[in-house]
Structure 1
Amino acid sequence: MRPFTQVNVFSADPLGGNPVAVVHDAEGLTDQEMQRFAHWTNLSETTFLLPPTAPEADYRVRIFTPAEELPFAGHPTLGSAHAWLAGGGVPREEGAVVQECGAGLVRLRRGERLAFAAPPLVREGPVAPADVERICRGLRVGRDEVVDIAWADNGPGWIGVLLADADAVLALRPSWPDLVGFEVGVVGAYADEAAARVGAAVEVRAFCPSLGVVEDPVTGSLNASLAQWLIGSGRLPSSYVASQGTALGRNGRVFVDQDGGEIWVGGDTVTVVSGTVEVGARA
C-alpha cells in the first residue's frame, strides 16, 4: 500500500476545481503500472512522486493522463506540490519548491497560493491552414469568428484559439471527431461589467480528446501558454484572473502574474481525499 492524496486544484471549493490523484512513494512502479492506475482513476491526470535525480530538485513527478504520459501539466504540478508538502516534504529553499518532471525543472513559489513559473514554449507561431480549417470545423465556428489562432505549446501540444468574447467561448459545442489529434485551448474576454461580476478577465476552455479527456475542467499548462501568447502580443494585461470550468459546472480560477521575464500561474489547492492505495507491488 502506498500513501495517496486527491487534491482539488484551482478552486477553494473542494468540488469546484480540477482534481488530481497523487501517489506518494511511487518508487518501484513500472511504466505500465502507472499508466494502468491513471486509466483506472479516469481523472484528467494522475501523478506519481519519486525521489529527484537532479540535485536542485525537491522531488520528481511523473504525470499520466488516462491515455499517455505528459512531460508537463499545470494543475498536476500544483496538486503534486501541495500533496508533497502536506505529506511532510521539506523544500531545500524556504518559500519555494523545485519540481523535476519530463519537461525539466519547474520552480514553484509559496504564498497566498501555490504558483508555478511557466515553462518556455516549445512551439509557437502560425498553424497550418488545413489544421485551422479542421479546428474551426471541430469547434463549429466559422473562420471569420476566430480572432487569432497560433501554436502555444509548452509540452502537451496546445494550439490557442482567441474568440471575440467569453460568451462565444461558453457557447461552443464541439464536434469531437474533428478535434482528435489536436489539443485546443479557447479563450475570450469578458466585458468590464461581466468581468467584475464573474471575478475574471477571460473564460478559457480546454479540449483534448486525444489525451482521453474530451474537456479538461481547469488547465494550468494551457493557461500558462495562453498567457505567454496573449500577454506577449499585448492582448491581455500582465496580471489577470482566468475563469475555467463554467461549462462543466466548475468554478475554477487561475491567477496569472508576469513578474519580470517570468509568468507565474497560481491557484488554490485543497486536499479532498487522503489514505492509502494498492498500486503494483513494492520492490
Structure 2
Amino acid sequence: MSQKPAPVRRRRPFAQVDVFTAEHYRGNPLAVVVDAGDLTTGQMQQFANWTNLSETAFLLPPTHPEADYRVRIFTAHEEFPFAGHPTLGSAHAWLEAGGVPKVEGVLIQECGAGLVRVKRDAGRLAFAAPPLTRSGPVDEPDMARIAAGLRLPRQALLDATWLVNGPDWIGVLLESAEQVLDIKPDYAAMEGLKVGVIGPYAAAGVADFEVRAFIPGDAAAEDPVTGSFNAGAAQWLIGSGRAPASYTAAQGTMLGRAGMVHVDAIDHDIWVGGNSITCISGTVVL
C-alpha cells in the first residue's frame, strides 16, 4: 500500500499583530498565517506550538455564504472555537492583506463558534460578543481554590460566575482595581481553572476597570490582554448594573503591557474593541 506523499511546504503571507494596543509591543501578540486553506489540522497545531504564543490564527476561505473569511484559532496545545484577541488580530491582518468585506464597514468572521461580526469603531476594530454557552454561580469548592490561588480571603471575592464563550472562564469581581493589581497568584492552587479578575477604579483616569486573566498550567500563566474574558465580563457586569453601557478596561499592567479594551453596549449587542498594530510582516514556510 503506497503512502500518501508529504505535503509540499511553500511560502505563505504571515503577520504578527499586537492587539488591544496602539503602541508596538505593548499589547497581546497574535501570529496570523494569511493563506492557510490547504493546511491540515496537524500542521496548524504544530506551527502554533512552535510560535509559543498564546494563540495563532489561520485564515481560510469561508464555507458560510455570509462570511468574509474563516479563521481557526490554536493555542500551543488545542484549538479554540472562539477567542477575542485572535478575532481582532485576524480581522486586522485580513484587511491589511487586501480583504474587502461583502458589506461595507462590517466583517463577518466564520469560526468554530459560528459567525462573529467585526466592525470599525472610531478607528478601532470591535467584535460583537458571542453568547455565553455557560454562565451562573461557581460552586464553593472552586471558589475556595480561587481565593487560595489569588491569596485573598474568601470574602474579598465579591461575586463570581462562569463566563464560557469558547474558553472556560470564571469571572471574579473584586472591590477595587488596586486589589487586582496587588494579586500575587498561586497557580498551583488554581490548577485547571481559567480565572479572570476585574475591579473598578474609584476615580476617573485612564480606564474604568483593571483586569487580569490567569491560566494555571498554561505556558503564558497570565494573559496580557484577553478579548474573550472581557467579552464575557462585559455581559455580566453591564447586565447586572455593575458597569455602565460604555467603559474601558486596562489589562497587562503588571506584565509591562498597555492593553486597553473598549466596551460599548448598543441595542442588543455588546461590542468589544481595541487598536491593533502589525509588528512583523513577511512570509512563513509551511
TM bucket, shorter chain: over 0.9
1:213 paired with 2:238, answer no
In the TM superposition, what are the counterparts of 1:73-152 in structure 2 within 5 Å?
Answer: 73-111=83-121, 112-152=123-163
What SS does structure 1 have at the residue aligned with 2:29?
strand
**TM-score of the superposition, structure 2-length normalised?**
0.94
What amino acid maps onto 1:201 in structure 2? D
Q: Deviations over 1:145-204 (max 9, x none)?
A: 111111111110110000110111011111111222111100000111xx32xx100000
The match for 1:265 is 272
Q: Deviations over 1:67-91 (max 9, x none)?
A: 2111100010000000000001110
Q: Pick one of 60, 63, 67 that aligns with 2:73.
A: 63
Structure 2: which 5+ residue stretches go unaligned? 1-10
What amino acid maps onto 2:210 in structure 1? E
The match for 2:5 is none
Q: Pick one of 49, 55, 68 that aligns with 2:59.
A: 49
Change (3 A) 1:125 1:253: same
Find runs of 4+ consecutive structure 1 residues off by over 3 angstroms.
none
Whole-Å separation in 2 of the counterparts to 1:117 and 1:14: 25
Q: Pick one of 179, 182, 185 that aligns with 1:174.
A: 185
Q: Is the 8 A contact 1:18 1:252 kept in 2?
A: yes
The match for 2:281 is 274
1:183 paired with 2:183, answer no
Q: Is the 8 A contact 1:67 1:212 kept in 2?
A: no
User: Aligned residues: percent identity?
Assistant: 62
Q: Deviations over 1:95-130 (max 9, x none)?
A: 010000010000011132100000001111101111
Whole-Å separation in 1 of the counterparts to 2:214 and 2:77: 15
Q: Is the 8 A contact 1:67 1:211 kept in 2?
A: no
What amino acid maps onto 1:116 in structure 2? F
The match for 2:3 is none
Whole-Å separation in 2 of the counterparts to 1:124 and 1:212: 26
Q: Is the 8 A contact 2:207 2:248 kept in 1?
A: yes
What amino acid maps onto 2:161 in structure 1? A
Q: Is the 8 A contact 2:82 2:113 kept in 1?
A: yes
What SS does structure 2 have at the residue aligned with 1:110?
strand
The match for 1:153 is 164
Q: 1:210: how far off? A: 4.3
Q: Is the 8 A contact 2:14 2:281 kept in 1?
A: yes
Whole-Å separation in 2 of the counterparts to 1:16 and 1:202: 18
Q: 1:212: how far off? A: 3.7
Backbone CA RMSD of aligned residues: 0.9
Q: Is the 8 A contact 2:187 2:217 kept in 1?
A: no
Report which of the two structures shows the higher radius of gyration computed on alpha carbons: 2
What amino acid maps onto 2:157 in structure 1? V
Q: 1:140: how far off? A: 1.2
What SS does structure 2 have at the residue aligned with 1:133?
helix
Q: Pick one of 253, 262, 277 that aligns with 1:255.
A: 262
Q: 1:137: how far off? A: 1.1
Change (3 A) 1:101 1:211: farther
Whole-Å separation in 1 of the counterparts to 2:118 and 2:190: 32
Whole-Å separation in 1 of the counterparts to 2:235 and 2:84: 14
